[in-house]
Structure 1
Amino acid sequence: MSGLSAAADNPIGTMAEVALLPGWSMSNGHYMAALHVKLAPGWHTYWRAPGAAGIPPQFEWSGSKNIESARFHWPIPDIYEQNDMRFLGYENELILPIEFTPSNAGRLIINGEIMMGVCEDVCMPYTATFQGAFELGDPATNTSKIEASLKHQPKHLSGVRCAAAAIDDGMKIITTLQAPNLGDLEMAVVEHPDPNVWVSESMHTRTGRTVTIESEMVPPEAAPFFVDRSQLRITLIGAGGKAYEAQGCTGS
Structure 2
Amino acid sequence: MSSASFLGRALLPILLAFPMLAPVRAEAAMAPWVASEGGRMRLVALSQPRNGTITALVQIELKDGWKTYWRYPGDAGMAPEFDFSGSTNLRLKSISYPVPDIGHDEAGRFVGYHQPVSFVVELDKPGEAAPSVIDLKALVGMCDAICIPFMAEFKLPLDPAVPEGEEFSALMLAQSALPEKPRADFAVRSLMKSSDGKSFVAEVTIPDEKDVQAEAAASRGVSLGKDPVVTVDGRTARVVIPIRRIEETGTQHQITLLVKAGKRAIEATLALD
TM class, shorter-chain normalised? 0.7 to 0.9
Q: Indicate the SS of the match to 1:148.
A: helix
Q: What is the rounded CA distance, in whole Å, between the counterparts of 1:43 and 1:95 in structure 2?
A: 16
Judge conservation of contact 1:19–1:131 (CA < 8 Å) in 2: no
Q: CA offset at residue 191 of structure 1?
A: 3.2
Q: CA offset at residue 75 of structure 1?
A: 1.5
Q: CA offset at residue 14 of structure 1?
A: 3.5
Judge conservation of contact 2:204–2:237 (CA < 8 Å) in 1: yes
What CA deviation, in whole Å up to 9, does each residue of 1:67-120 have, x standing for no partner?
Answer: 222411212122342037332212241122211112323222112111111011
Q: CA offset at residue 183 of structure 1?
A: 4.3
What CA deviation, in whole Å up to 9, does each residue of 1:138-196 have, x standing for no partner?
Answer: 542212122011122212334511221475xx752111111033744x4212333x223
* More off after superposition, 14-23 vs 112-121: 14-23
Task: State yes or no: 1:219 paired with 2:243.
Answer: no
Aligned to 2:236: 210
Judge conservation of contact 1:67–1:101 (CA < 8 Å) in 2: yes
Q: What is the rounded CA distance, in whole Å, between the counterparts of 1:141 and 1:115 in structure 2?
A: 28
Aligned to 2:155: 131
Kindly report which structure 2 residues correspond to 1:136-175, keeping only aligned pairs within 5 A, or say none. Answer: 136=160, 139-142=163-166, 143-157=168-182, 158=187, 160-165=189-194, 172-175=199-202
Aligned to 2:31: 3
Judge conservation of contact 1:42–1:92 (CA < 8 Å) in 2: no
Q: CA RMSD in A?
A: 3.0
| TM, length-normalised to structure 1 | 0.80
Q: What is the rounded CA distance, in whole Å, between the counterparts of 1:183 and 1:127 in structure 2?
A: 39
One-letter code aligned to 1:67: L
CA shift in 2, pair 1:130/1:187, >3 Å: farther
Q: Indicate the SS of the match to 2:79.
A: coil
The structure with more helix, counted as a fraction of residues:
2
Aligned to 1:244: 266
1:50 pairs with one of 54, 67, 73 = 73
**Structure 2: which 5+ runs fail to align?**
1-27
Q: What is the rounded CA distance, in whole Å, between the counterparts of 2:194 and 2:233 in structure 1?
A: 23
What CA deviation, in whole Å up to 9, does each residue of 1:191-245 have, x standing for no partner?
Answer: 33x22321223222112221111113422369xx9976xx4332102565x3122
Q: What is the rounded CA distance, in whole Å, between the counterparts of 1:249 and 1:35 in structure 2?
A: 26
Q: CA offset at residue 126 of structure 1?
A: 1.9
One-letter code aligned to 1:162: L
**Structure 1: which 5+ runs fail to align?**
8-12
* More off after superposition, 144-153 vs 154-163: 154-163
2:98 pairs with one of 75, 90, 106 = 75
User: May I ask how many residue pairs the two structures share in their alignment?
Assistant: 237
Q: What is the rounded CA distance, in whole Å, between the counterparts of 1:3 and 1:226 in structure 2?
A: 35
CA shift in 2, pair 1:221/1:66, >3 Å: closer
Aligned to 1:10: none
| TM, length-normalised to structure 2 | 0.74
Q: CA offset at residue 130 of structure 1?
A: 2.1
Q: What is the rounded CA distance, in whole Å, between the counterparts of 1:83 and 1:15 in structure 2?
A: 18
Task: State yes or no: 1:25 paired with 2:53.
Answer: no
One-letter code aligned to 1:176: E
